Amino acid sequence: MSNTKETMFIAKPKKLKRGWLIAMLFAAWVVLAKIFQGQATLVLAVPEDTGVTTWAGNVAASIRANRSDGASFKYFFNPIREFIDGFVTGIREIIAIPAGDSSIPLLGWLGVIAVIGFVVYAVSHLRMAIAAVILVFACGALGLWTDSMDTLAMTLAAVIMSLLIGIPVGIWAGLSDRALKAVTPILDLAQILPTLVYLAPLALFFLIGPASATIATMVYSIPIAVRLTAFGIRGVPVSPVEAGTSMGTTKIQLLRKIQLPMSSRTIILGINQTVMAALSFVVIAALIGAPGLGKPVIDALIIRDVGGGFVAGIAVVLIAIMLDRSTSAAISIDESFVPAPASARRRRKLGLVSAGVATIICIVLSRQLAWAAYFPEQVDISKPVSNVTESSIFWITENFEFLTTGLAKAVTVGILNPLEGVLSNSPWFLTVAMISLLSLILGGLRSAFITLTLLLAIVASGLWFDTMVTFTQTIVATILTMLIGVVVGVWIGRSTRAERALRPILDAGQTLPAFVYLIPMLGFFGPSRFTGIATGIVYSIPIVVKIVGQGIREVPTNMIEAAISTGSTKWQLITKVQLPAAKKSLLLATNQGLIFVLAVVVIGGLVGAGGLGYLVIVGGSKPELQGKGLIAGFSILLLGLMIDRIAQYTVARNSAPKH
Amino acid sequence: MIRNKKAAAKASVLAAAAALLLAACGGAGVDAEASAAPTDAAEVAACGSYAIAMHAWVGYTASAQVVTEIAKANGCDISQVTLAEAGVTYDAMEAGSVDLVIEDWGGGRWQEWADRGALVQVGDNGNIGIIGMYVPQWMADENPDITDSANLNKYADLFVTDESKGKGAWYEGPPGYTTIGEKMISANKLNFTAISTGSEQALIDVFTKAAADKTPAIGYWYTPQNFLAKVPLARINFPANDWTDPEQASGLTDYPELPLQKLATPKVIDANDAFTKIVKNFTWTNDDQNEVAADIESGTDPAVAAQKWIDAHADIVAGWLK
């Protein structure tokens, strides 16, 4: 205890000094911004270009011009596109789209459901298989059988190819330090890259269609497969590896007999995470022509069909639950080391054989009889579900308008507009200098240097003003997210019952595509910056709550007991002991919150939030603005990098051992 | 257990492979049933499979759905692909994932793609597109001079919101639509800020609210669109564009009237089947489109609404198939 007191003693004056510095910096910033309001803001109207965006537009135009006979397209991009298109179409023809000359896919709906049930049964157990069958059937009952199957097929195709690339690279990075060093920066970059950013460049090379969508999904999910595979291989204890080496096994044997089997659990977890990542990409991939459930969601966004969007969103969540639970069940089966008794094994064998026979019968039926081939329209429950959703949203908008518009107005007038005045509506050099100084105080010299470089790169891109608009929205959304997230996080960190009650909601929140709740948000708040902010908050709260809750739970019990024994109140316990002790988690949560918010705030460009996201979207549909859209995407990346670097250096500085 | 699981996994892969083989060899009995259905076998063979681009506005849905229903009735295999307007769609046509745009507002943005042979301009679809800036009718009734763009700055204060930075809020069309709001604001020296709206529905909300609560609003709207029949709006008259100067791109003062275009892939033109005929001959009036759009807006399934129009205009449809 005396030890803790001592460190607190040393740490306190330093922290106080830093707090003062930051406060003084902000005061100077606000005053200077007020004086120079509206000067040198580098504001650029949407149809206007700068040197850099014109250059990017010319590059894009020459790439487009090359698409039919340029050598790089003929021998590289087009063959890749055709190969992936063929692969995806092949999988889609099995379950989703009419195969060849036939009027149905290779499997009718009954066949698909039977195969899913059988595969899940084979890798896990009967209960999970029944659940999977019910979940898939529910997608059909929502009137979205074909779209659901398209989503399943697209996910499957992207996952197979991601694993074919990701697992070997992951094994390599697990075995070789040099390989790990080479891939780590790429993996880090991929993790902070907002998904909206790489759609346009991919579409430029691979055009609009399933191939582009699959490649975009792979960009998102391969890093996860690589990371977890490498992690699994590296987690294998040293002694079995040494034992193997001393017995003279070859490297291949070592890998096949010891390292891979011993890390299989982490690798299956990697597969699970890869599947979930691919699935979470479903909706945004529809922007570049992915077939499946993303289509009705985007449609619903454009005509603001809240009910329809919600129905499609539910189908995505059902498929997510199905895939998540069945791959997790496969992991848990792997865990048991106790061999099953002979009778149980015999029973299982019998079960597998009979299930296999039933599956084959279902497949044959699904190809011969219309009722088993086409999903029955009679069980369509999409209308009531969509009506109930719509009327409840309508009811909320009608009766709580004072609340929704009041909230939007309070945040817009109270925080957003003043902050925009400081960040985007003041001279660029002032903002650059102040953010760099802040980065210096928070993260040190190196952090400040990187921040300054990235900010100057943004200025050079010509999209400074729009970047600051997006940055302002990101900051406001993150502040609100942290306010809510810390309160809820502390609550679930302190109460197991609360944790258990909230976990399903948090899990669902993480799988529901942000687009789905963007639609009702648009209904609540109209086309405005706050709509994007509110969506960003909802999207990032689950991850923040989880990290904060975890941090609070990990505070050593002896610290808490000591505090209680000295008679501190509950409030004192939280503010003086638990929150300070969980400081690292709070910083980590802030970092994650910022990155998650940024990824969604840019989607706000679709609903009137302006900023970089709007430019990215406009650049996609207006050829003359394509260059500007591409540079806007790049600026989002620079902004994300800057946020991440400042946060990382701040975390590193705060968790460094004190001397 | 691990061994047992491995065996299970192997068994499941084998079973799946066997099942697929079985499925692939077996020949779908469903197909036999389908061809036994009373469709003319010769007609079925006479048309290929095509994807029609679907855009967000209901008028487009009306046109595309009518083409879809006629093509399906003539044995074509039609799928619909939802995409944003212009660039995204042209790229999709170049990739072969979309074959037809039935109503293009791009005003020639597709030229570069046409030059590369990715798509063909098939001709006018009969609809005349007029985009403009509108205020609710009550504003024009109370202030008759507001419809003259020269007087807009006088009223700018009325349109200020929290989002519009002290200037008038100018509600721009959705990002996927053809919009030149900022060019118009600067060319006409207006004291307004263009605010992008995310969707057509957001614009509809703005206008509906403005009409019902008598709140001021100015925003993007267009015809053919059935909405004008429900919520009366008054169009602001801007000075017409001076097209004598080809460099006018930065000085656009108003949206031009646009004969809307049909764009198709060379595949459609070369096939010379029923779909080719429908695409080449399809043309209808703004009233026709509004009729179908009105049904769709009031909740009728687009396919049903389209079929209703087709049944009522059998002679016109027959003409398209010649």
Q: Are the CB atoms for A152 and A160 separated by under 8 Å?
A: no
Segment A1-44, tens digit of pLDDT: 344 444 444 445 555 678 888 999 999 999 998 898 888 888 88
Q: Between these two residues, B236 and A380, which has the higher pLDDT value?
A: B236
Assess if residue B152 is contained within a domain: yes
Least confident of A201-205, A250-254, B235-239: A250-254
Higher pLDDT, A459 or A3: A459
Q: How confident is the model at residue B19 (pLDDT cuts 50, 70, 90)?
A: low
CA distance B216 to A644: 43
* Amino acid found at A584: K
∠ CA A40-A21-A582 to the nearest 5 degrees?
115
Which residue type sits at A357? Answer: V
Q: Which residue in B1, B16, B87 is closest to A620 by CB distance?
A: B87
Q: How confident is the model at residue B11 (pLDDT cuts 50, 70, 90)?
A: low
Segment A254-284, tens digit of pLDDT: 888 888 888 888 888 889 889 988 988 888 8
Q: Does B34 sit within 8 Å of A115, measured CB to CB?
A: no
> Is B84 contained in some domain?
yes
- Terminal C-alpha separation, chain B: 69
- Pair (B122, B140) in one structural domain: no
Tell me which residues of chain A, numbers 364 to 383, contact chain B at a CB-CB cutoff of 8 Å.
364, 367-370, 373-374
Residue B1 DSSP code? -
Quote the pLDDT of residue B124. Answer: 93
Tokens of A390: 């719509």
Contact A131, A325 (CB under 8 A): yes
Asked if ipTM goes beyond 0.85, one says no
When computed from its CA atoms, the radius of gyration of chain B, rounded to whole angstroms, is: 25
Residues 6+ away with beta carbon under 8 Å from B293: B58, B59, B61, B62, B224, B225, B226
pLDDT at A6: 43
Between A26 and A46, whose confidence is greater?
A26
Residues from chain B that touch A621, judged by Cβ atoms under 8 A, are: 84-88, 175-176
A610 in contact with chain B, both atoms CB, cutoff 8 A: yes
Rounded average pLDDT over B201-218: 88
pLDDT of residue A522: 80
Residues B78 and B221 in one domain: no
Tell me, yes or no, whether B153 and B252 share the same domain. Answer: yes
pLDDT of residue A8: 44
- pLDDT (0 to 100) of residue B56: 79
Q: Is residue B12 part of a domain?
A: no
**Residue B170 placed within a domain:** yes
Any idea what the CATH number is for the domain that residue B85 is in?
Answer: 3.40.190.10
Stated pTM of the model: 0.86
Are residues B122 and B234 both part of a single domain?
A: no
Give residue-wise pLDDT tens across range B150-191: 999 999 999 998 888 889 999 998 877 888 888 889 888 999
Whether residue A207 and residue B90 make contact (CB cut-off 8 A), yes or no, is no
Count of domains forming chain B: 2
Q: Kindly state the percentage of chain A with pLDDT values over 70.
A: 95
A83-109 pLDDT, tens digit per residue, is 999 999 999 999 988 887 777 888 989
Q: What are phi and psi of A41, to 5 degrees?
A: -85, -10
Percent of chain A's residues with pLDDT above 90: 39
Closest residue to A360, CB basis, from B19, B83, B116: B19
Segment of B28-37, B44-53, B243-252 carrying the highest mean pLDDT? B44-53
Q: In a 3-state reduction of DSSP, which class is residue A290?
A: coil
Q: Which two tokens stand for residue A191?
A: 């993790």
Chain A, window 231-270: residues with a beta carbon less than 8 angstroms from a chain B beta carbon: 261
CB distance A611 to A605 below 8 Å: yes
- Give yes or no for a contact between A122 and A352, defined as CB atoms under 8 angstroms apart: yes
Asked whether the predicted pLDDT for residue A602 surpasses 60, the reply is yes
Residue B293 lies in a domain: yes
Q: Which residue do the tokens 């008038």 mark?
A: B168
B 174-213: CB under 8 A from A: 174-176, 180, 182-183, 186, 194-202, 205-206
Q: How many C-alpha atoms does A506 have within 13 Å on its Cβ side?
A: 19
Q: Do the Cβ atoms of B30 and A108 come within 8 Å? A: yes
Residues B249, B234 share a domain: yes
pLDDT score recorded for residue A439: 94
In this predicted structure, what is the pLDDT of residue B242? 64
Determine, yes or no, domain membership for B271: yes
Nearest to B169 by CA among B156, B154, B180: B156
On whether both B203 and B92 belong to a single domain, the answer is no
What are the C-alpha distances in Å from A403 to residues A158, A408, A478, A607, A609?
43, 8, 21, 20, 20
Is residue B220 domain-shared with residue B240, that is, in the same domain? yes
Q: Lowest-confidence range among A600-614, B142-156, B239-253?
A: B239-253
Q: What angle do CA A524, A529, A530 make, to 5 degrees?
A: 45
Same structural domain, B133 and B237: yes
Contact B22 A369 (CB under 8 A): no
Query: Where is average pLDDT lowest: A112-116, A471-475, A655-659?
Result: A655-659
Confidence of residue B27 (pLDDT cuts 50, 70, 90): low
Same domain, B137 and B231: yes
Please, are residues B203 and B219 in contact by the beta-carbon 8 Å criterion? yes
B23 found inside a domain? no
Residue B101 in domain: yes
Residue among B31, B180, B196 whose CB faces A102 most closely: B31
- Is A345 an interface residue toward B (CB < 8 Å)? yes
Q: How many Cα atoms occupy the beta-carbon half-sphere of A34 within 13 Å?
A: 7
**Are residue B101 and residue B209 in the same domain, yes or no?**
no
Q: Are residues B253 and B268 in the same domain?
A: no
> Where is the domain boundary, B257, B272, B299?
B257
Question: In this predicted structure, what is the pLDDT of residue A14?
Answer: 56
Picking from B237, B257, B277, the residue at the C-terminal end of a domain is B257
Helices A626-655, A199-206: axis angle to 10 degrees equals: 140
Mean pLDDT taken over chain B: 84
Res. A231: pLDDT tops 60: yes
Kindly report the average pLDDT of chain A as a whole number: 87
Q: What percent of chain B has pLDDT over 90?
A: 47
Identify the pLDDT of residue B6.
54
Q: What average pLDDT does the segment A188-192 reach?
A: 83
Q: d(Cα B256, Cα B132) in Å, to the nearest integer?
A: 9
User: Which band of pLDDT confidence, cut at 50, 70 and 90, is reported for residue A243?
Assistant: confident
Has residue A657 got a pLDDT over 60? no
> Which ranges in A444-463 belong to alpha helices (H)?
445-461
Render pLDDT for A407-455 as a digit per residue (tens, 0 to 9): 888 999 999 999 998 999 899 999 999 999 999 999 999 999 999 999 9
Q: Specify the length of chain A in residues.
A: 659
Judged by DSSP in three states, B260 sits in strand
Task: Please tell me the predicted confidence (pLDDT) of residue B322.
Answer: 85
pLDDT tens track for B48-99 = 899 999 987 888 999 999 999 999 999 898 988 888 888 889 999 998 889 9
- Regarding whether B190 and B152 lie in a shared domain, the answer is yes
Query: Which residue range forms the structural domain that includes residue B77?
Result: 46-128+258-320
Residue of higher predicted confidence among A157 and A287: A157
Q: What distance lies between CA A24 and its chain's CA centroid?
A: 36
3-state secondary structure of B120: strand
Q: What is the CATH number of the domain that holds B229?
A: 3.40.190.100
Q: Is the peptide bond before A237 cis (omega within 30 degrees of 0)?
A: no
Query: Considering only CA atoms, which of B53, B68, B126 is closest in space to residue B305?
Result: B68
Q: What is the mean pLDDT of residues A595-617?
A: 87
Q: Which of B204, B225, B257 is the last residue of a domain?
A: B257
Q: Please give the structure tokens belonging to residue B23.
A: 């499925």
